[in-house]
Amino acid sequence: MNLKPSKSRVFAIMMIVSVVLMMLGPGATGSMRNFAQMLIAPIGDGGMYVVSALKPVSNSGGISPTDALQLRHENDQLRLQLVEAQHRLALQNAEHRREMLDVQEIRTSAFSPREDNPCELIPARVVAGDALPYGKWRVVNRGSDDMEGSPVLSRLLITDRSKSIPRNLAVITSSALVGTVAESGAFTSRIQLVGDKGFHIRGRIIRHVDPAKPRLIMSNRPGAAGVVTLDETNNRLEVLAHGDGVSGLIIEAVAECEKVMPGDWLVTSDAEPHLRTEVRIGVVQEVIVNPADRRFVTVKVKPFVDPATLRDVYIVYWKPPL
C-alpha cells in the first residue's frame, strides 16, 4: 500500500487550507501561526536540549591534572610579569620626579623665567659614547662646518624633538655645563663636549675669597687701579677658554698679577648668547707660568662633570619658536 501523498493531493489540501484561512480573516491566521510555532519549536531547539542534558555529564570529572598544572604555571608567569611591570613603572615615576626636581633646581639657581629672555629646557639622554673603552674620539659626519675626518670629543643624545634644533645651544646637567650642540636631526643631537679641542667659550674665573688668606691682585678698575685685596666685588675675571682635546679646558695668556689659583671656578658668562647666566664649567686644577714671559700663566681646568658618567642632560633653548 502506497502511503506517499501525490502532488495533486497536497496541492488540493493547500488550496483548501488557503480558502479556509481567507474566510476566517487575519485574526485566526495569527492564532494558527502561534500554535504552529509551539509545535515546531521543540524540533528546532532539540540540539540545544541535547547539549544541555549532556554537559553536566561531560564536565563531571573537571580539568585534567596536566591542564591544572599548565594553568598554575601561566598564572605564576603573569604574576611575575605584573610585578616587573609595577617595578618598571615605579622606576619611571622616580626618574620623572628626579628630572622635575632637576629642572626646578636649574630654573631656581640659574634660569629663573624672565619676560625678556624666555628659556626652555629640553631633556635629553646620552645613548652613544666611545666605541672603545680607551678611545675618546668621534668623527664629524659630512655636512658639518668641521673638516671631514677631524676628531671631536662628542656624545649622541636622544631628544623628544621631531625637528632639528639650532647648533651651539648649551647642554647642561643639573650642576654644570657639559658642552654645546654640534649637529642635530629628528630626535637626535650630537654635543661637542667642553674637552673637545674645537670647543671655545667666553667665561669667567671666580676667585674664591678667603679672609684668612687675603689675595692681592692688580686692579684696572676706574678709581681703584693698582694693587687691591681680592673681595666679592672684584673676584670675577673675564677669560676665553677652549678644550684641551682630552678631557679638560685651557685658558691661555692670563695675567699672573690676577693671582688665579687652583680651586678657583670657571663659569659661563652672561655674554654668551646661548646661556646668558653663570653656570659652572670646571675647577682650576693647575696654574703654569709661561717660561717665555713670566707675566702670564696658562690655567688648566678640570670639568665638574666626568664625561664617562654623563647620562641625563638638558639643552638650553633661549627664545624657542612658538
Half-sphere exposure of 5 (CA within 13 A, CB side): 8
243 forms beta bridges with 249
pLDDT reported for residue 106:
60
Q: What element of type H or E holds 34? A: helix 26-44
Residue with cell 631628544: 159
Q: How far apart are CA 139 and CA 137, in angstroms?
A: 7
pTM for the full predicted model: 0.60
Nearest Cα to 192, choosing from 266, 204, 200? 200
Contacting residues for 148 by C-beta, under 8 A, at least 6 apart? 139, 140, 142
At CA 277, angle to CA 273 and CA 283, rounded to 5?
110
3-state secondary structure 112-126: CCCCCCCEEEEEEEE
State the CATH architecture for 200-307: Beta Barrel (2.40)
Beta bridge partners of 200: 242
Evaluate whether 281 touches 252 at the Cβ level (below 8 Å): no
Q: Which CATH class is domain 119-197+310-318?
A: mainly beta
Q: How many helices (H) does the chain have, and how many strands (E)?
A: 4, 16
Cβ burial 17-43 (10 Å sphere, 16+ → b, else e): eeeeeeeeeeeeeeeeeeeeeeeeeee
Give the separation between CA 306 and CA 19, rounded to whole angstroms: 104
For 274, phi then psi, to 5°, come to -100, 10
Query: What's residue 171's pLDDT?
Result: 92
Could you give the C-alpha distances from 23 to 17, 65, 258, in angstroms and in order?
Answer: 10, 68, 126
pLDDT of res. 102: 66
Cα–Cα dist 270/203, whole Å: 8
Tens of pLDDT, residue by residue, the chain (322 residues)? 556 667 777 777 777 777 776 776 666 666 666 666 666 666 666 666 666 666 555 554 567 888 888 888 899 999 899 888 888 888 877 776 776 666 666 655 555 444 445 678 888 888 765 444 444 433 333 333 443 333 447 778 888 788 888 889 999 988 899 999 988 888 888 899 999 999 999 999 999 999 899 999 987 766 666 889 999 989 999 999 999 988 899 999 999 999 999 999 999 998 888 887 889 999 999 999 999 999 999 999 999 998 888 888 888 887 655 5
- Confidence (pLDDT) at 309: 83
pLDDT for position 160: 78
Whole-angstrom distance, CA of residue 235 vs CA of residue 233: 6
- Yes or no: say if 193 and 243 are a contact pair by the CB < 8 Å rule: yes
Strand 249-255 versus strand 226-229 pairing type: unpaired
Give me 301's grid cell. 681646568
Instruction: Give the phi and the psi of residue 108 in degrees, each rounded to 5.
Output: -70, -40
Query: Could you tell me the three cell numbers for 246?
Result: 682630552
pLDDT of residue 274: 81
Number of other CB atoms surrounding residue 218 within 10 Å? 13
SS3 278: coil
Give the pLDDT of residue 105: 62
Identify the bridge partners of residue 303 per DSSP, sorted by sequence position. Answer: 282
